[in-house]
Structure 1
Amino acid sequence: MTDAIRRLRLSHVVLPLPSPVSDAKVLTGRQKPLTETVLLFVEVSTEQGFDGMGFSYSKRAGGPAQYTHLAEIADVAIGQDPSDIDRIYQSLLWAGASVGRSGVATQAIAALDVALWDLKARRAGLPLAKLLGAHRDSCRVYNTSGGFLQASVDEIKEKATASLEAGIGGIKIKVGQPDWKTDLDRVAAIREHLGDTPFMVDANQQWDRARARRMCRELEQHDLIWIEEPLDAWDAAGHADLSRAFDTPIATGEMLTSVPEHMALIDAGYRGIVQPDAPRIGGITPFLRFAALAAHAGLALAPHYAMEIHLHLAAAYPTEPWVEHFEWLNPLFDERIEIRDGRMWLPERAGLGFTLSEQMRAYTKESATFGRP
């Protein structure tokens, strides 16, 4: 028996961070410290009484635009069968065709797309990973939130130790400062502190090609799991060249906002680690489309941020991935993900496995409802 979408509720949520954080884009003067994350939540209900929840997000700018765009086109989804996720996706793309098929246009749709996948898995009584076809019940997990550049080396060491004691398996820190020697000193100090613990660094796009080659060469000695975004995110050829030149894997992709942008890496001969972000690429539907192509190309996967979504998608990837741990979104949900033995474990709860908290309601700045109660 077919079903139909009865009601959609959109929420514009502003989540303050406990304290401002800075990566290399701040120290090089390109951005201001990050103080909050803005999210677009979608709650979907059907005629047969099934529900789903999804979200997308933005940092520094774009959150109100996501909310406004989806509010303009959301009524197109009312009455459609929630099982026909790609059909609904295409109808929303056409409803907002004049603003394109990437960036804010699809990041707005992403929140509804995630909610529909959550609903489909809940209706099946399965965790989303099991609905997709899981290859594993847990994924390797690393922490980033303790390694930002406003923190001293001693602070990073303390936070890294706490993360490892909490069961996290790897540590990532930020690099890419104006003084590259400071970067190397910090990396050496943290590597010494961590011993043989898996260790990653992230330059957040702050090197040109010449500096990136020199830094990658210097960093080879530290046995890193990867060097992330050494170049501008859209420099597919540059990232491909680096991925073939060094033993340390190169990772990139978190900033890309469409499947074609990610495919440019593969077309350029990239051999590194891909880091698609489901809310940024436009939802789970395009994420899965690119993941199939990345797996065919033999690329490793380490999705960016949003572990509440990406744990499921990583668990369904053919080769062993990494999932990024950020505790920032914890206040928005009633449940927590189990982390132990260096791994993040799939919840047994259906769908994504999360319900929205009262704190999420308190952080909501505006909301809109479409359809009928």
Structure 2
Amino acid sequence: MIEIVDAVAWLVDLEVETVRTDAVQSFVKQETVFVEVTTNDGNKGIGYSYTIGTGGTSVLAMLREHLLPRLIGADAALVERVWFDLFASTRATTVGAITSLALAAVDTALWDLRCTRAGEPLWRLAGGFRPKVPLYDTEGGWLHLSTDELVAGARASQAAGWPGVKLKVGKPRLDEDVERLTAVRDAVGAGMDIMVDANQSMTQAEARRRAAAFEPLGLSWFEEPLPADDVAGHEALARGTAIPIAVGESMYSVAQFREYLARGAASIVQVDAARVGGITPWLKVAHTAEAFNVHVCPHFLMELHVSLVAAVPNGRYVEHIPQLRAITHGQMRIEDGHAVAPDTPGIGIDWDFDAIDDRRVA
């Protein structure tokens, strides 16, 4: 038995690397919640999750007061069992963001430990489909940027060999969105993928109107046009447009994804390992999507998601939003427009603990 003898959590406030705005919010800071588990053989695993500005101390309280005490004495090798036990102990607060984010910090720590003890990188132990995956850029597409800045960013990504870019939509007027998207399409031509993201800002009627206007531009997907809990709205929109509908970053359980897939309301699944409760449920979502012949293109957390996308056969894209460089040694490798999965044992993130300690707030 690989007994857990200690489990601790702490919170770090990480500055945002660049200004990021969309149709409903700004990225204020990355509240990063860390969990470290230690086993009776002296091994350790480090896991993490995040928020973009609020709620971090609530996640930390859930961990310290409810979840971490249950870990002591548990068998770290039984990752599924531990995850289910923690989930079952929090029925009163599931399914919800705070609980899922807390579960994710524990689960990624256990996977880090599992991979380290096995001497294998995450992408191999979680499935091992391919060592690198295509990359698309979001950093050049924020809503506050001018049309000229969007075009410059897309051209830079294209010159770097990246196969896709994502642009935020949801300007007050439809013609503003169309003008911006058209300028980028004209600049990069038909050979580059362009995705758009509305961040849940639209009504169904407005989303249908904008999708109709966007269709001639050959978009690769229309992301979160409606509130994430509006399954029926996404289902109707998906049936009424040729643009693939992408959802997932604001969903917190495997069952929510199952409902979307069963109703044909999602053509791209963007499951976020932190928000869905960790690597364990992330893989379940990915395999469920595979059964529906749907690609997985996860939200954010590129440093972790590169390994998960590489692990599964329906992993299509990794989203390029670098955010951990201030607290890690090195950064994600990029080769010929592809993100390369780390080959070191563990989850593949080389933490700079001195820099992390400098930013601890709780």
User: Percent of aligned positions with the same letter in both sequences?
Assistant: 36
2:114 is paired with a residue of what secondary structure? helix
Q: How far has the Cα of 1:106 moved from its partner?
A: 2.1
Q: Deviations 1:230-264 (Å, cap 9, x if unpaired)?
A: 11111112212222332221111110111122222
> Does residue 185 in structure 1 map to residue 184 in structure 2?
no
Provide the rounded CA distance (Å) in 2 between the counterparts of 1:19 and 1:333: 17
Residue number in structure 2 paired with 1:121: 115
Provide the rounded CA distance (Å) in 1 between the counterparts of 2:92 and 2:266: 35
1:280 is paired with a residue of what secondary structure? coil
Provide the rounded CA distance (Å) in 1 between the counterparts of 2:299 and 2:266: 18
> Does residue 263 in structure 1 map to residue 258 in structure 2?
yes
The alignment's TM-score, normalised by the length of structure 1, stands at 0.92
Residue number in structure 2 paired with 1:319: 314
Provide the rounded CA distance (Å) in 1 between the counterparts of 2:205 and 2:281: 33
Provide the rounded CA distance (Å) in 2 between the counterparts of 1:96 and 1:288: 21
Provide the rounded CA distance (Å) in 1 between the counterparts of 2:113 and 2:170: 41
2:15 is paired with a residue of what secondary structure? strand
Provide the rounded CA distance (Å) in 1 between the counterparts of 2:126 and 2:349: 17
Letter in 2 for 1:114: T
Unaligned runs of 5+ in 1: 27-32, 367-373
Residue number in structure 2 paired with 1:29: none
Q: Which has the higher mean CA deviation after the structures are superposed, 313-322 or 276-285?
A: 313-322
Residue number in structure 2 paired with 1:7: 6
> Does residue 63 in structure 1 map to residue 62 in structure 2?
no
Residue number in structure 2 paired with 1:233: 228
Equivalent of 2:31 in 38, 57, 72: 38
**For residues 260 and 50 of structure 1, do their structure 2 counterparts lie closer, same or farther at Cα, with a shift above 3 Å needed?**
same
> Does residue 173 in structure 1 map to residue 172 in structure 2?
no
Equivalent of 1:97 in 66, 91, 98: 91
Residue number in structure 2 paired with 1:85: 79
Letter in 2 for 1:192: D
Letter in 2 for 1:255: S
Aligned residues: 359
Provide the rounded CA distance (Å) in 1 between the counterparts of 2:276 and 2:144: 29
Provide the rounded CA distance (Å) in 2 between the counterparts of 1:335 and 1:170: 24
Letter in 2 for 1:16: E
Provide the rounded CA distance (Å) in 2 between the counterparts of 1:92 and 1:135: 30
Letter in 2 for 1:147: G
Equivalent of 1:217 in 184, 202, 212: 212
**For residues 98 and 250 of structure 1, do their structure 2 counterparts lie closer, same or farther at Cα, with a shift above 3 Å needed?**
closer
Residue number in structure 1 paired with 2:243: 248
1:364 is paired with a residue of what secondary structure? coil
Kept in 1, the 8 Å contact 2:8–2:64? The answer is no
Letter in 1 for 2:253: S
Provide the rounded CA distance (Å) in 2 between the counterparts of 1:269 and 1:197: 26
Residue number in structure 1 paired with 2:272: 277
Q: Which has the higher mean CA deviation after the structures are superposed, 258-267 or 273-282?
A: 258-267
2:212 is paired with a residue of what secondary structure? helix
Equivalent of 1:198 in 188, 193, 196: 193
> Does residue 21 in structure 1 map to residue 28 in structure 2?
no
Kept in 2, the 8 Å contact 1:93–1:101? The answer is no
Residue number in structure 2 paired with 1:354: 349
Equivalent of 1:304 in 295, 299, 306: 299
Q: How far has the Cα of 1:166 moved from its partner?
A: 4.1
Residue number in structure 1 paired with 2:360: 364
Kept in 2, the 8 Å contact 1:19–1:35? The answer is no
Equivalent of 2:150 in 113, 136, 156: 156
Q: How far has the Cα of 1:201 moved from its partner?
A: 0.7
Q: Deviations 1:70-128 (Å, cap 9, x if unpaired)?
A: 01120110121111112111222243333234321121111010110111111111111
Unaligned runs of 5+ in 2: none
After superposition, the CA RMSD in angstroms is 1.6
